[in-house]
Amino acid sequence: MADAMWIRRSSTEIEQRKRRQRFSPVGALGITTFIMLLVWLLPRHSGSTHWKAFALTFLTCFVLLYVSHVLVGRYLIPLPGPSYGPPTALILNMICPLCRTTQPDTDSHTCQCGGQLEPLDHWRWVEDDKAKGPSTPAI
């Protein structure tokens, strides 16, 4: 059997990933596109689309989402309703460092084996030979 396993990322790597995710405009762009699609599908009074207003709304919406994500780490939708975090919060996003099983987060943040759950983001799946040597030199 191949020696594949979960290994913990270095704290430097975790920070880099967080920063990259935080400043990535992809999520904001996706949500804005979705909202604008809904707006576009709404019935209009006149037959023509006001492209200027449309573009301005798109830009405002995108900037608000992007800035909110950079500042607070969440997408604050400029509409009534809850704010939306990354979808990973809903799935198997935690890992137990003792038994190395991925699982949903629990209220107590502890695994059935007693281990303290950590965000799966802090771990990386590696295949056989890559798992043997340390991924980054210890500082």
Smallest gap from Cβ 85 to Zn ion, in A, equals 25
Q: Is 7 helix (H, G, I), strand (E, B) or coil?
A: strand
Among 111, 117, 122, 123, binds Zn ion (CB under 5 A): 111
Q: Which long-range contacts (CB under 8 A, 24 or more apart) does 56-65 make?
A: 58/32, 61/32, 61/35, 61/36, 62/25, 62/28, 62/29, 62/32, 65/27, 65/28, 65/31, 65/32
If the CB atoms of residues 94 and 111 are measured against Zn ion, the closer one turns out to be 111
If the CB atoms of residues 113 and 138 are measured against Zn ion, the closer one turns out to be 113
Smallest gap from Cβ 13 to Zn ion, in A, equals 23
Assigned token pair, 92: 């198997």
- From the list 28-36, 79-87, 88-96, 131-139, the region that binds Zn ion by CB under 5 A is 88-96
Please report whether residue 92 would count as binding Zn ion according to CB under 5 A. Answer: no
